A and B are shown apart, each in its own frame.
Chain A
Amino acid sequence: MGDAWIAREISLSPRVVFPNKILPYLLVAPQLAITLVFFYWPAGQALYQSMLRQDPFGLKSRFVWFANFRKVLADPAYLNSIKVTVMFSLATAIVAMVVALLLAVMAEKAVRGKGLYRTLLIWPYAVAPAIAGMLWLFLFNPSIGSLAYLLRSLGIAWDPLLNGTHAMILLVSAAAWKQISYNFLFFVAGLQAVPKTLIEAAAMDGAGETKRFWTIIFPLLAPTTFFLLVVNTVYALFDTFGIVHAVTGGGPGKTTETLVYKVYNDGFVNLILGDSAAQSVILMAIVIALTAIQFRYVERKVHYG
């Protein structure tokens, strides 16, 4: 955290406080207890296990330092999973954000009915990602899906259960569909913060609508866009486990096996504990990096906002 953040901390904390000595400890105790038992202890265990290797019968384990990490990072299946995850996350974030931005810009223009449009656009937020996946699979599965039927009658050999690319398209659609409402709300808030006078001035200088959008509105939306990019990446990385598990199970042939799904699969299904723990630790590093980026951004907002 930077100096600006700390300065804000100090200036904002009320100097008037209650003098009790014991009470504050009792107040933080519940949260602290749960945090220690269910967060720190397991995270510590994951770190420890990531450096252990068990024999196949699970009887003995020995300390191997970073051998598990070397093994995981050299494993073609893991590298494939990284590639799948990057593609899936980027595609999901981009699709969800582009559609949401388009809708938000249109909602700003449509003066009438804005509230109604918002109400009708926000409900996928409440749908569990796994259910979103199952609904899309219901529509697009080759045997009974009505939209798959439509695609086939148009001459497209659509089969997400056998074709990896089709499976990926289905996952991205379901994941992005669920996230549109969230992004929409943030883009609407961002657009409302753009000063109207600036746009009017540009209009008087003869800038057309398209030009006004790209030279004024879009740059001013950059903080919102960047923030949403981070949030959407985190969403695509972690919250979409349900979609993958419910829709494709990583298949066909590992074409949709994301990093989180692989941790689960190696640990719970294949029972390779050391590898799974090493993968957990790598994921932890990714989350820490993303959170750091997010908070740097918050700090910038303090500077300029």
Chain B
Amino acid sequence: MIGQSPLRTFIAHAVLILGILIVAFPIYYTFVASTHTLQTILRPPLPLLPGGQLWNNYSEALFGGIGRIGGVSVGRLLLNTTIMALGVAVGKIFISILSAYAIVFFRFPLRMTFFWLIFITLMLPVEVRILPTYKVMVDLGMIDTYAGLIVPLIASATATLLFRQFFMTIPGELVEAARVDGAGPWRFFFDILLPLSRTNIAALFVILFIYGWTQYLWPLLVTNSNDMNTIVIALRKMVSFADADTQWHLVMVTAMLAIVPPILVVVMMQRWFVRGLVESEK
């Protein structure tokens, strides 16, 4: 190991702390703003320490209902967003583990065609087919429904590719042994494959949960009514820099509630998250 002067170590720590300050400051300040009254927020600069309105602001936003977005409570928005994030994460894992299983462990006509059909969707993000996809949603009556928020997002190549890559590392002997023991494809799937995929599923879950939670363009397109909005979209509707009646204290509470759940997921499942992120991009 190369020796390092204490000065350089000190500089390293100083730079890191500065980095953390930059990274954390906007979130910390949002928290501070969410504990002050509207009047305090409207007179900058805002104090650097939390105020005494924590309970009032949070209970007003969570249980009251916010005029700007049609009286919908933040509780409702959180419910919508949670349903969407969970639906997207679970749905994606479910359909991609099944299709990866079929593509790796079976041989059937059109197998590679199907694989390429799935693979090419990597190149068709929502952004490049906004209007026609919207029209499909209208035709199918999926506007303002949970299915509309979730189903179109659960088909994606990334998760399928990841499972496929992992399945290909499973030795053929294992399949052979299962077949000798008389296990059918379902027994093999549930008793061997699923337990082996546990860490991959956990890693993917974190990434997809965040993906679902932070969606913007899609919920903007498929939700019109206020009580079907996700929290991110509702937040956008609550903010206006042009007119004076933005209720900033409630905006800040909503922002905190929109940020904290996914941050908790990332920090608590950090080990899987980091692994999943670095592996899924290979």
- Contact of A39 with B124 at beta-carbon distance under 8 Å, contacts A31-B155, A34-B151, A122-B266 already known: yes
A280 interface contact, C-beta 8 A: yes
Q: Chain A at the B interface: mostly helix, strand, loop or mixed?
A: helix
Q: Is the beta-carbon distance between A203 and B105 smaller than 8 angstroms?
A: no
Closest to B107 in A: A17
Query: What residue of chain A has the Cβ atom nearest to residue B264's Cβ?
Result: A126
Which one, A28, A130, A284, contacts B236 given CB within 8 A?
A130
Interface residues of A in 245-299 (CB under 8 A from B): 245-246, 260, 263-264, 267-268, 273, 276-277, 280-281, 283-284, 287-288, 291, 298
Of the 9-residue stretches A75-83, A102-110, A214-222, which lies at the interface with chain B? Answer: A102-110
| Residue among B29, B129, B270 making CB contact with A119, cutoff 8 Å | B270
Is the C-beta of A131 less than 8 angstroms from some C-beta in chain B?
yes
Beyond A16-B172, A242-B217, 10 additional contacts (C-beta under 8 Å) are A24-B103, A27-B99, A34-B155, A103-B19, A127-B263, A130-B216, A136-B26, A143-B241, A146-B44, A280-B130
Residues A288 and B214 in contact, CB atoms below 8 Å apart: no
User: Which of chain B's residues has its CB closest to A127's CB?
Assistant: B259
Query: Which residue on A lies nearest to B186, using beta carbons?
Result: A23
CB of B49 within 8 Å of the partner chain? no
The reply to whether A25 and B13 contact each other, CB–CB distance below 8 Å, is no
Whether B30 contacts A120 by the Cβ 8 Å rule is no
B277 within 8 A of A: yes
Q: How many angstroms from the CA of A69 to the CA of B224 in the assembled complex?
A: 31
Chain A nearest CB: distance from B169 CB in Å? 7
Q: Chain A contacts of B44 at CB under 8 A?
A: 144-146, 148-149
A51 at the A/B interface (Cβ < 8 Å)? Answer: no
Report yes or no: B42 in contact with A144, Cβ–Cβ below 8 A: yes
Q: Which residues of A contact B57 (CB under 8 A)?
A: none
Q: Assuming A23-B185, A28-B98, A34-B152, is B248 touching A238 (CB within 8 A)?
A: no
- Roughly how many angstroms separate A199 CA and B3 CA in the complex, as a whole number? 12
Known contacts A31-B99, A106-B12; is-contact A131 B259 (Cβ 8 Å)? yes
Number of interface residues of A (CB under 8 A): 106
Report the separation of the CA atoms of residues A281 and B132 in the bound assembly, to the nearest whole angstrom.
Answer: 12
Check if B168 is an interface residue, CB within 8 A of chain A.
yes
> What B residues does A99 contact at CB under 8 A?
19, 22
Residue numbers in A under 8 Å from B223 (CB-CB): none
Q: Is the CB of B23 within 8 A of A38?
A: no
| In the assembled complex, B79 has its CB within 8 A of some CB on chain A | no
User: With the chains together, A161 CA to B243 CA distance in Å?
Assistant: 13
Is A39 a contact of B168 with CB atoms below 8 Å? Answer: no
With beta carbons under 8 angstroms apart, the residue of A31, A42, A49, A135 that contacts B133 is A42
Q: Which positions in A face B, CB cutoff 8 Å?
A: 12-18, 20-21, 23-25, 27-28, 30-32, 34-46, 49, 99, 102-103, 106-107, 109-110, 113, 117-132, 134-139, 141, 143-146, 148-150, 161, 177, 180-182, 185-186, 189, 196, 199-200, 203, 209, 227, 231, 238, 241-242, 245-246, 260, 263-264, 267-268, 273, 276-277, 280-281, 283-284, 287-288, 291, 298, 301
Which 6 residue pairs of A and B lie closest in terms of their CB atoms, listed nearest first?
A: A242-B216, A45-B132, A128-B214, A27-B102, A42-B132, A126-B262
Q: Is B41 an interface residue (CB 8 A)?
A: yes
Q: List 9 A-B contacts (CB under 8 A).
A: A27-B99, A31-B99, A42-B136, A121-B16, A124-B27, A130-B235, A135-B29, A185-B278, A246-B236
Instruction: Check if B26 sits within 8 Å of A139, measured CB to CB.
Output: yes
CB within 8 Å of A: which B244-265 residues: 248, 251-252, 255, 258-259, 262-263, 265
A203 to B52, CA, bound (A): 56
The contact string, 1 if C-beta is below 8 Å from chain A, for chain B 2-22, is 101000110111011001101
Is the C-beta of B194 less than 8 angstroms from some C-beta in chain A? no
Q: Are B46 and A264 in contact (CB under 8 A)?
A: no
Whether the Cβ atoms of A246 and B132 lie closer than 8 Å is no
* Contact for B128 among A12, A43, A139, CB less than 8 A: A43
List residues of chain B with CB within 8 A of the CB of A139: 26, 29
User: Chain A residues near B24 (CB, 8 Å)?
Assistant: 120, 123
Contact between B118 and A267, CB atoms less than 8 A apart: no
Q: How far is the CA of A186 from the CA of B49 in the complex (A)?
A: 34
